[in-house]
Amino acid sequence: MIPLSVLGAGAWGTALAIQFARRLPVCLWARDLDQAAAMARQGQNAAYLPGLAFPVSLQVTADFEAALHHARGGLLIVATPMAGLAEVLVRIQHSSQAGLGAKVLWLCKGFQEGTGALGHEVAQAVAPGLRVGVLSGPSFAQEVACGLPTALVAASVDAALCDEAVATLHGGSLRVYSCADPVGVEVGGAVKNVLAIAAGIADGFRWSGPCGESLGLGLNARAALVTRGLAEMTRLGVALGAQVQTFMGLSGLGDLVLTTTGDLSRNRQVGLRLAQGTPLAQILSELGHVAEGVRSAPMVWQRARRCGVEMPITEAVVQVLNGQHTVAEAVEALMDRRTRPEADGPVA
């Protein structure tokens, strides 16, 4: 059996560790010593996935080097938020237990705050000696941990790494496909979080109808938003070097549909509450989990502007998040945009 360690004990990292440990010996690393001790003692991650028992083959540790040693020669899955990716990659590259040539996949979905870099760009900058890729796709942590059917994609320009990832991770209720377009997979994973906020806003927004009744925007509006959001995602991805067809797959359309319609989506919940008038700071304080779309939205928009790519839905989300526009003003601005052909080229 190929050894495996998951670095990061949030909801998503824990869920995959549980899933993998049903077939493989897995080590789950938690940054916080008290959290690691509590999980080892309780046999569950009570903070993020309460009630879901760990398989007996799942070890928990706060010792980073021990986690790397467990997976020596195997795979490392980085399950930190995007803000923690660079630090973990540097630690892996300089570790005596892993070092140059270590095989790493990350779960992070977003653009790095401040730089606007995607995961593969972060890796190139801080840890060029690692063999790297991304694991993504439509997946809620709760369902994965419960063993419900899920399909993911492992993407890397390193074909051998993709093959090993599929051979190791595919099995049971988890299907894993390979992809040679990590740029497209990462753009899909990042932008869908921003669009999920937009979908939540659209679903939660209310306005007064002709007879004074309270009306929402409706399912037609959601369908339009998802479709035009996919066009935005694809435009940006192609500008960054991705392949168009990637956005029709699991990490593009699949993840977009899931996060814009599923009630387990944290980013969609942010949008719903923004539409109800709840201040963003209060939403994030009460959420209890990271909503990557809030951090990524300004970076997505800035990256798009540098590439000369129009992303009006993303721009509207940014303006609502930073208080520049109310929800009503953002909706009105989107509806008042000039008309255009739906397909102005392959990625209009």
| CB proximity list for 141: less than 8 A, separation 6 or greater | 11, 12, 14, 15, 48, 49
| Whole-angstrom distance, CA of residue 109 vs CA of residue 120 | 11
Q: Which of 138, 220, 137 is nearest to 185 (CA)?
A: 137
Placement of tokens 């796709």 in the chain: 137
Q: By the 8 A CB rule, do 3 and 71 touch? A: yes
| Whole-angstrom distance, CA of residue 20 vs CA of residue 121 | 27
Q: Which of 197, 216, 198 is nearest to 207 (CA)?
A: 216
| Whole-angstrom distance, CA of residue 336 vs CA of residue 312 | 11
CA angle 122, 124, 127 (to 5 degrees): 90
- Assign residue 342 a region (left: φ > 0; alpha: ψ between -120 and 50; beta: otherwise): alpha
Tokens of 37: 């001790």
Distance of CA 333 to the CA centre of its chain: 28
Q: Which residues are catalytic?
A: 192
Q: Which helix (H) or strand (E) holds 119?
A: helix 119-126
